[in-house]
A and B are shown apart, each in its own frame.
Chain A
Amino acid sequence: MNAGKPAMAISVENIVKRYGDFTAVDGITFHVNDGEIFGLLGPNGAGKSTLIRMMTTLTPATSGRAVVGGHDVAREPDAVRRTIGVIPQALTSDIDLTVEENLSIYAKLYEVPKAERERNINDLLEAVDLTKWRGAQTKTLSGGMRRRLEIARGLVHNPRIFFLDEPTTGLDPVSRVAVWEMLNHLKNTRSLTILLTTHYMDEADRLCDRIAIVDHGKLVALDSPMALKASVPGTNVVEAQFAQESAEWPARLKQLSGVTSVESQSAGMYRLLTSDGSLTTTQLVEMAVSSGNTLKSLSVQNTTLDDVFVHFTGRQLRDEQVKALGFVMPPRPGMQP
């Protein structure tokens, strides 16, 4: 390793990955500081896994450069491998092996000496709360426990930098919170730098120091969650649902003071971004009463990363997730329902 501790844990410059004609990652540049939790946020197919695979020596970049832990990924892949721990997106722990065997086999793959191996495994099992289960076959664990086992597995050789690809996808809300707490704790006790990918807004918001929003292989925004939210015009979100729907509502809502955007959602439901939540709400209620309409529901929130995503990409991240599951007929020009 280089003399001294490099202040930059990860440095990615103009990195590109092409599969044939298709560009999965399209010239992305970012830097991750030592000790940060850095999030790559984006919908399915954005190129998050491909980015992680290039940074972790799994797949060569088409062009551009990645330096991880002070080592160039293309030129010193082995040095990079010794510095990093990686948890792939798929659950890859062996269900036929016990929790402890899963860990010890990986420790051996990293050639961790026996005494250190045993100590590390004990510490890690404690850290991920699986000490009780060390002798249990992995197939008996729940999804959340298996994820925790894999987190421990990625750390058996005391890496400095930890990559996690969608660590909480498929977990129930309680398990997700447990994983977040565990990652925070591990980061602090082991002075780790963490890079994770996610398509959950709340996860990125709660866990990450900085977030890079990735869409269609491109970096669309990069900052702390606070700064990202502040960069969206409007500081509050007002959601209102009216009993009767009418075509002129969007235009009228837009004229309320402080409103910067109006988004029509389902069944008379509108989502307004505003710089002054209380003033907009007051006017909205007055407007509803004076026009004889009834408000079915009304809520005022702070801006979320959802709004940030919509602001930068023009699309709703949640819609993307739903669309990814089913086939959607592309609209034909000139076709009227």
Chain B
Amino acid sequence: MTRMMAIVEREMRKFFRSPTLMMVSMMLPLVQLVILGNAFGGKIVGAKVGVVDYDHGSQALKVHEAFNAVAANIRTFTTTEYPNEQKAREDVRTGKLDAAVIIPRQYSRRVLAGDSPQIGLVVDNTDLTTSGGIEAEMQSLVDALNAPAIQPKVVQQIALEIVELYPYVEYMKYLLAGSISLAMYVAVMIGGGMLYIDDKARGVHEGYLVTPITKFELVLGLNLAGTIKAVMSGISLTVIGSLLAGLGSIFHPETDLLLLLLIVSTSIAFNGMMFLMMVRVEDPLVPRAMFGVLNTLLFFPSGAISPVKGFPPWLRAIAVVDPFTYAVHGFKAILLKDGGLDAIWMDLLFLFGFGIATLLIATPLFKRSL
């Protein structure tokens, strides 16, 4: 016990003495959270749309009202009146406008007659993101206008409905679960894997192995230290990330307890996985090379960036055995849906089980000699 704790003490003293590892392990997840959270938000803001109204009837007015609601609420685009189609098309072509909407003659009359009139949309389809965003927005707007029975409420509903589909803060919240898991992964990869192999190459282990420490004490000490580092990294990112993404769930003590369980189980799972992979590695280049590959192989199929439901079967197969999947699922269940223990006990079971299983396989592989 004293001997195992001596290993832990050494690792912890080094860890606290130089804050680099802590910072480095949080850098990647935080940068990803902020950049991806904003880049993949899916929300186009402030696009310029020209409106050519050849109708000026009551139904055309409804369309204008809907545009005004969009401009005021979700701000996907703002509209400018144009006298004719030629001028509007020209401005889309030269980039002064992102799109133009043409309300044809007889529009109001044909709507009231139930004669499905068409509103024209001119987009610059070299910029698919913007044109796609505007098209989607216009489509839902038109769909809503086509339902005459609820027409009076439609305008407001369009705005509200769209706010729930595309708000970018929501995407950052969606990403947070992955970022917390990633912070633990990086902490384990650097604080566990890389430092472990570097120490081995530098002869630090040679120093341990001439003492009477047992193989079990050494393995447990190294893994306990790796797990503690990952837990601290996970807690830090949960707090910082929640504040960045505007999530208040961390202020509830019961939630915190569940989060801590998830953080600890994830740390154990990642650490066990890492130790199993590194137990026979001698070359310090190996963990460095594995870092990126594993990151892609484990992080992206986990549902951290996009839902597992959308994956092809082979990718879903990776997701099933990937501890990231369970960590991400667990954190989402707690942070986004306030799910409680019921929602995450399967995740906890998998993560603890995975960690213990990998450690049990790794221990006999650990060589207590050079």
Pairing of A with B: yes
Residue ranges of A at the interface with B (Cβ–Cβ < 8 Å): 53, 56-60, 78, 81-82, 84, 86, 88-90, 92, 94, 96-97, 101, 105-106, 108-111, 137
Residues A109 and B6 in contact in the complex (CB < 8 Å), given A90-B202, A96-B14, A96-B17: yes
| A60: contacting residue among B206, B210, B212, B369, CB under 8 A | B369
| 27 contacts across the A-B interface (CB closer than 8 A) | A59-B369, A60-B369, A78-B212, A81-B210, A81-B211, A82-B212, A86-B210, A88-B206, A89-B203, A90-B203, A92-B203, A92-B206, A92-B207, A94-B14, A96-B14, A97-B10, A97-B14, A105-B9, A106-B6, A108-B2, A108-B6, A108-B9, A109-B6, A109-B213, A110-B212, A111-B3, A111-B212
In angstroms, Cα B368 to Cα A59, docked, is 9
In angstroms, Cα B13 to Cα A280, docked, is 65
Name the CB-closest residue of B to A52.
B210
In angstroms, Cα B213 to Cα A309, docked, is 40
A97 and B210 within 8 A (CB): no
A58 and B210 within 8 A (CB): yes
In angstroms, Cα B209 to Cα A58, docked, is 7
Name the CB-closest residue of A to B7.
A109
Residues of B within 8 Å of A105, CB to CB, are: 6, 9-10
Residues of B within 8 Å of A96, CB to CB, are: 13-14, 17-18
Size bin of chain B's contact surface: 20 to 34
B370 and A94 within 8 A (CB): no
Interface of B is mostly: helix
Top 9 nearest A-B pairs by Cβ distance? A108-B6, A90-B203, A86-B210, A109-B211, A81-B212, A96-B14, A92-B207, A92-B203, A88-B206
In angstroms, Cα B370 to Cα A111, docked, is 23
Closest chain-A Cβ to B89's Cβ sits at a distance in Å of: 67
Closest chain-A Cβ to B141's Cβ sits at a distance in Å of: 61
B10 and A88 within 8 A (CB): no
Interface centre among A86, A89, A94, A109 (most CB of B within 10 A): A109
Name the CB-closest residue of B to A90.
B203
Name the CB-closest residue of A to B10.
A105
Name the CB-closest residue of B to A87.
B207
Further contacts, 8 of them, CB under 8 A, given A56-B210, A109-B213, A137-B17: A58-B206, A58-B370, A92-B204, A94-B10, A96-B17, A97-B10, A97-B14, A109-B211
| B210: contacting residue among A57, A101, A108, CB under 8 A | A57
| B5: contacting residue among A60, A94, A108, CB under 8 A | A108
In angstroms, Cα B151 to Cα A278, docked, is 124
Residues of A within 8 Å of B216, CB to CB, are: none
Residues of B within 8 Å of A84, CB to CB, are: 210
Residues A88 and B207 in contact in the complex (CB < 8 Å), given A108-B9, A109-B6: yes
Closest chain-B Cβ to A81's Cβ sits at a distance in Å of: 5
Query: Does any Cβ of A come within 8 Å of B311's Cβ?
Result: no
Closest chain-A Cβ to B9's Cβ sits at a distance in Å of: 6
In angstroms, Cα B197 to Cα A158, docked, is 30
Residue-wise interface mask of B (1-45) relative to A, using a CB-CB cutoff of 8 A (1 in contact, 0 not): 011011101100110011000000000000000000000000000
Query: Does any Cβ of A come within 8 Å of B345's Cβ?
Result: no
Closest chain-B Cβ to A19's Cβ sits at a distance in Å of: 11
Residues of B within 8 Å of A53, CB to CB, are: 370
In angstroms, Cα B13 to Cα A110, docked, is 19
In angstroms, Cα B13 to Cα A94, docked, is 10
Residues A101 and B13 in contact in the complex (CB < 8 Å), given A86-B210, A92-B202, A109-B208: yes
A97 and B203 within 8 A (CB): no
